[in-house]
Amino acid sequence: MNHLSFNAGDVILREGTYGETMYEITSGTVGIYAAYGLPEQRMLATLGQGDSFGEMGLVEFWARSATAVAMEDGTCVDEVNLDEFMAYIRTRPEKTLQIMRQLSARIRETDAKYVEACRTIHDAIEAERAGKTRGGSLRSKLFGMIQHVRGRAS
């Protein structure tokens, strides 16, 4: 297992790259970003000591879905490869369960956001059908909502 140290602003892993490792934060804070460094950048999560990230790349051998950035000097992580992860499963079931709980919570949060977006779109469509909207099309309202969400995330 590699023990790595980062300063504030250092990229630990980059969205779109492939990786066969995950990371466990041993100290400091890590920000998880979509579209990091681009105008549409948004922070998805802030993780701290004991949290892990990069599990999806480790398990699926798929491109990273976000960028992880150290938020403070002295942020330290343990880099875990597939063999080490398999050892976790065999020898540290409590750690495996912790990782599964973190993944489950992230999926639950994403599901809630998806359901909220679907309800909003449904309500807007129904209001437009019923003629209850004042000026502007559904398309312009959705565009406005997207701009509002992007503004809050930055």
Tokens of 105: 């919570």
Query: Mean pLDDT for the chain?
Result: 86
Q: What is the pLDDT of residues 63-73, one digit of tens each?
A: 999 999 999 99
Q: Which pLDDT score is estimated for 66?
A: 94
Phi, psi of 130 (to 5 degrees): -80, -5
Q: Read off the pTM.
A: 0.73
Integer Cα distance of 117 and 110 in angstroms: 11
Domain 2-91 in CATH 2.60.120.10? The answer is: yes
Domain ranges (residues) in the chain: 2-91, 110-153
Q: What is the pLDDT of residues 55-94, one digit of tens each?
A: 888 888 889 999 999 999 999 999 999 999 899 889 988 8
- Residue 3 exposed, middle or buried by CB count within 10 Å (0-12, 13-18, 19+): exposed
